Amino acid sequence: MSNLRIAIQKSGRLFEDSVQLLKECGIDLRNVKDRLRTESDNFPLEVFFLRDDDIPQYVEDGVADIGIVGENVVFEKNRQVEITEKLGFGKCRLSIAVPRSQEYDSIKCLEGKRIATSYPHMVTSFLAKNNVTAEIHEISGSVEIAPGIGLADVVADLVSSGSTLFMNGLKEVETILNSQAVLIKNKQLQPFSISLLDKLLFRIQAVKKAKRNKYILLNAPNDNLEKIISLLPGMKSPTVLPLAESGWSSIHSVLSEDQFWECIENLKAAGAQGILVVPIEKMVI
């Protein structure tokens, strides 16, 4: 059987998370350090380590069947690939930033400005959508210093915490794109590759669901059992087991991260005791 070929970043902010995701999916990889290619020992997967900017083209051309790359790269390169799954890591945003001393009322303040960016395609599209005409200066790396050295008036760059912008005297004023790592695929995959991709996606989705949920165990007085169960919005019906101590039961359920703290407070108020919270490694529904 042929392998499914995946391209991931050879270095940079998505490399470690991409390799970790594959490992969490139960895929063993041989030594990945300083390699351009490797194979899994227990899943028909071949991994290529590439520059992130090149991944969409490799996938479009069919050199790789699938790839893990930031949405910002997918939209900037504008290749004919399909986003199959959002992966939840590598989150950032492509933002426009201006000097902190500059007043900014609306996007019309960008009219006629010089904008330094490594993302000319997305910035040009964003300006056109908002009927703004500006001068794009395409540069690679250290975009945030452009206003300080007189190269540009404004920058459009990736932002995570915003600390780099702050240190360079800039403030965010517009968000062009909220980005995260995504799994992309070639639009003309062969049936055997589609089958392998479906198996990989099944594993990825199980890992993602596990990260968004917690397994909870608690002790509840039987005279308040129905109320406590009603407070648990987990999967289907919770498991209820009698305790050795008369009048008490143990309840097992699953809570999502979004509901977790509020639900715990309500459970305690309803009389739940001995609440134990356990991380979930995989979650198959």
Q: Which pLDDT value is given to residue 44?
A: 96
- The two beta strands, 92-99 and 45-50, are unpaired
Task: Work out the percent of the chain whose per-residue pLDDT is above 70.
Answer: 99
- Residue 40 sits in the same domain as residue 151: no
- Residue 80 sits in the same domain as residue 150: no
pLDDT tens figures, 33-92:
778 899 998 999 999 999 999 999 999 999 999 999 999 999 999 999 999 999 999 999
Q: Please give the Cα distance from 85 to 200 (Å, whole number).
A: 11
Low-confidence ranges of the chain (pLDDT < 50): none
Q: Is-contact 9 15, C-beta < 8 A?
A: yes
Specify the DSSP class assigned to residue 234. Answer: S
- Residue 166 sits in the same domain as residue 203: no
- Residue 174 sits in the same domain as residue 102: yes
- Residue 121 sits in the same domain as residue 159: yes
Q: What is the largest CA-CA distance in the chain?
A: 77
Number of domains in the chain: 3
Q: Which pLDDT value is given to residue 234?
A: 62
- Residue 86 sits in the same domain as residue 186: yes
Indicate the average pLDDT of the chain. Answer: 93
239 found inside a domain: yes
Helices 191-211 and 15-24 cross at an angle (nearest 10°) of 100
State pTM to two decimals: 0.87
- Residue 74 sits in the same domain as residue 205: yes
Residue span of the structural domain in which 147 resides:
92-179
User: In this structure, how many other beta carbons lie within 10 angstroms of the beta carbon of residue 179?
Assistant: 21
User: CATH no. for residue 237?
Assistant: 3.30.70.120
